Structure 1
Amino acid sequence: MRRPNVPSQDSVGRLLGFIQLPAGEIALVIADVSGKGVAAALLMPSIEVALRMDAPRFPSTNDLLRAFNNVVCQITGGHRFISMFYGKLCPQSCSLEYTNAGHNPPLLIRAGLDPSPLDKGGPVLGLLPDSEYESARIDLRQGDVLILYTDGAVEAENPAGEQYSAERLSKTVSLHLHQSASQLVETIYTSVSNFVKQPL
């Protein structure tokens, strides 16, 4: 596993991190607060603290986000929403249970196969109290690559107004599956940066 070498919370209210769970499981979290600027950035620390407190209490990802949605509704008063992907990785069984609350679907990429978007879940957090969420479970294989990202990557635009897109992201990763996790992160950054700087 590898995440970008940046703070877990940034100035536009994003979160990317890991949470150690009981029985050796690891939670993978990526989230994005609606809106930008100081207000969004100040909200995320409260959300992260609440999530870290709640995560060990719920055995399933959908039960956690069902309860956490109500927490976010109370914190934000319905004035902001949060997209979130929450996955629970079990190293013993090489499996991932996940729930996606309106976030950009992470991409599971396997050599020779089309990318699989992890989109099972429900609505964004913080708008509708008592919303229902689904979970899904996938078995992981050696060589699988799982890409978690926010709209900042796939909606990056070149001078012609074209977006980088999830399709370009998955193609970039598919062409570099031989790389290590850290190398792949740098490859993606370089690809997005070069795309944005393309001349007209």
Structure 2
Amino acid sequence: MLGASCVSCHNSHPESPKKDWSEGDVRGIQAITISQPIAANLWSFKYLLLYFAGAGAIGAAVTALQWHQATRYHKMNIDLGQANTEIAHLNEQLKSENLRLGAEIEVARQIQMMVLPTKDELGGIHQLEIAAFMEPADEVGGDYYDVLQLDDRVKVGIGDVTGHGLESGVLMLMVQSVAVALQERGPTDPRQFLAALNSAICRNIKRTKTDKHLTLSFLDFEPDKVTLSGQHEELIVLKADGTCEVIDTVDLGFPIGLDDDIAPFIETRELAFAQGDIIVLYTDGVTEAESPDGDLFGLDRLIKSACSHNTPSATRVLEGILADLKSHIGTQVVHDDITLLVIRHT
């Protein structure tokens, strides 16, 4: 603190920073004078510091979030990599399983085609000319037909298992096997034959736990007549005189495999079958075949086609009907098995 004597000295000293010292002034402290505009800027500077502090905090938060997201994405990439590895492994297993299943289906298809009557068998039947065609919609079909001959007895069967594919094809093979066994050692009466076949098929259906069944008709041929039994599609008879007859089979039986005992439902019908007469048998894959416009081939169109091709040749009748059918189908995908049988009395 400056006294009176010091004030006089400092005010007169040539190196004194100022000449207006007063008693009580403090010596040795630097004096700072701040103008009003600069003082006002200090308040702005405080807000600027707050801004940078806030920006720094936000930047730190963004950095932390980016790190969290990067860690999360890295984990997701690892999980996706593991999932892709598992999917690739499952695809290999599925490919292997498909190859195995494809091989089994091919074996079933070959067995099914092997048990169909050969051309030599069909050509060796006395007084009958038989032409046959079968085309499964899948690798294995559910349509059935067979020509069974034992001594002078000839029995022709045709049927259609519900659906198509492997299960239907297996049931078709069961029917074929049982029918062959019954033809050789079973009853000759058409009603008893069909009832025994149904009983055996029902037992097998229960074992396999399938829900399949089938329509099935048999024709027992004798000289100049045929006995029809079982429920299936309508029978078309082309007479040698050019007339045509359609036989309904709905009242002649019951679907095979639905009930253990169908004997009460089985009926027979005898038809005259003279020399030159022709019988046309088919499955619903023929009548339900669609055109590209969705129009069904239908029974009426089938009858018209058969009548228009009524010639003294089972093969020509078959080829004519197939040509009309394929023309109707055109480019449309076939969704059901197609079976057609033409039998002519020679």
Tell me the TM-score range normalised by the shorter chain. 0.7 to 0.9
Letter in structure 1 aligned against 2:255: V
Structure (1/2) with the larger helix percentage:
2
- Pick which of 53-62 and 130-139 moved more: 53-62
Q: Which ranges in structure 1 are unaligned for 5 or more consecutive residues?
A: none
CA contact (8 A) 2:202 2:259 kept: yes
2:199 is the counterpart of 1:70: yes
Q: 1:89 to 1:143 in 2, by over 3 A?
A: same
Shift of 1:179: 4.6
Letter in structure 1 aligned against 2:229: T
Query: In the TM superposition, what are the counterparts of 1:173-184 in structure 2 within 5 Å?
Result: 173-184=306-317
Query: In the TM superposition, what are the counterparts of 1:80-95 in structure 2 within 5 Å?
Result: 80-90=212-222, 93-95=223-225
Partner of 1:189: 322
CA distance in 2, matches of 1:88, 1:11: 28
Q: 1:20 to 1:191 in 2, by over 3 A?
A: same
- Percent same amino acid among aligned pairs? 22
Partner of 1:153: 286
Q: 1:98 to 1:21 in 2, by over 3 A?
A: farther
Equivalent of residue 257 in structure 2, options 118, 122, 126:
126
Q: 1:112 to 1:177 in 2, by over 3 A?
A: closer
- Greater relative contact order: 1 or 2 (C-alpha under 8 angstroms, separation 6 or more)? 1
Partner of 1:36: 164
SS at match of 2:140: coil
RMSD: 2.2
Letter in structure 1 aligned against 2:154: I
Q: Which ranges in structure 2 are unaligned for 5 or more consecutive residues?
A: 1-128, 333-346
- If you compute each CA radius of gyration, which structure gives the higher value, 1 or 2? 2
SS at match of 1:115: strand
Letter in structure 2 aligned against 1:80: K
Normalised by the length of structure 1, the TM-score is 0.88
SS at match of 2:131: coil
2:301 is the counterpart of 1:168: yes
Normalised by the length of structure 2, the TM-score is 0.52
Partner of 1:54: 182
